[in-house]
Each structure stands twice: as C-alpha cells, then as structure tokens.
Amino acid sequence: VEMASKNNFPWLISNVMDRATGAGLANGHVTYMVEWSGHKIGLVGLVEREWLVTLHTIEPEDVVYEDFCSCARRLGRQLREEGAELVLALTHMRVPNDELLAQEVEEVDIILG
C-alpha cells in the first residue's frame, strides 16, 4: 500500500483480493475506465497464481485468487455494460497463460503482457 501511494498512476489488480478486507491488493483498482479520443477503454489487471509466491510481503493464504480467465470474462462483460468499447487486459503472466487468455476469453480485445 505504501509503494502504491507514492505513484502517480493507478494500480490495477483484478483477480487477487485481500481476504480480510475484500479489497484489491495494495488498494488497487479492480477495473479502470479511460477515455482516449472519445472512446472508452476498460482495463483489467490479471496475474497468474504462480506470481503470488514471488511476493515476499504477502502470504498466499491471506488473499483470494480468482482464475484469470473467469475473472476476465466476468469483468469484460461488466466493462462493456459500463460503456467500454474495448477491453484491454494488462497482465503479469508468462506467455502460455497470455495465450490461454487470448484463446479462451472473447470478452478481452487486447492483451498487453
């Protein structure tokens, strides 16, 4: 949370929540909507489960992890309902999982991994 508060951009983590509070890690946004040249773009931030063990400040049992594909489907539909013309996934995953996301989730238009 301390590191996130020092940035001038929003943190975005959609599929990992703090078990105690229900909030996104580091109080990050679950989704984020931006407007670019008059077009609404919905953003989701997705991580693979294996990423959690690389975090020395978080115990895996202290968070709730949602599968990145099911999360992307659910939030992609939600962002469309909120007016998003494009849904973009910002991922912190290895290439095979980005490829799986692209193959399995039609609600996401662009993946930046």
Domains in the chain (CATH in brackets) are: 2-112 (3.60.21.10)
Task: Quick: pLDDT tens for 40-66.
Answer: 999 999 999 988 888 888 888 899 999
User: Strand, helix or coil at 64?
Assistant: strand
Task: Quick: pLDDT tens for 59-98.
Answer: 888 999 999 999 999 999 999 999 999 999 999 999 999 9
Distances (CA, A) of 70 to 14, 102, 112: 11, 12, 18
Residue 64: what pLDDT? 94
Give mean pLDDT, residues 3-27: 84
User: Strand, helix or coil at 6?
Assistant: coil
pTM of the predicted model, to two decimals?
Answer: 0.88
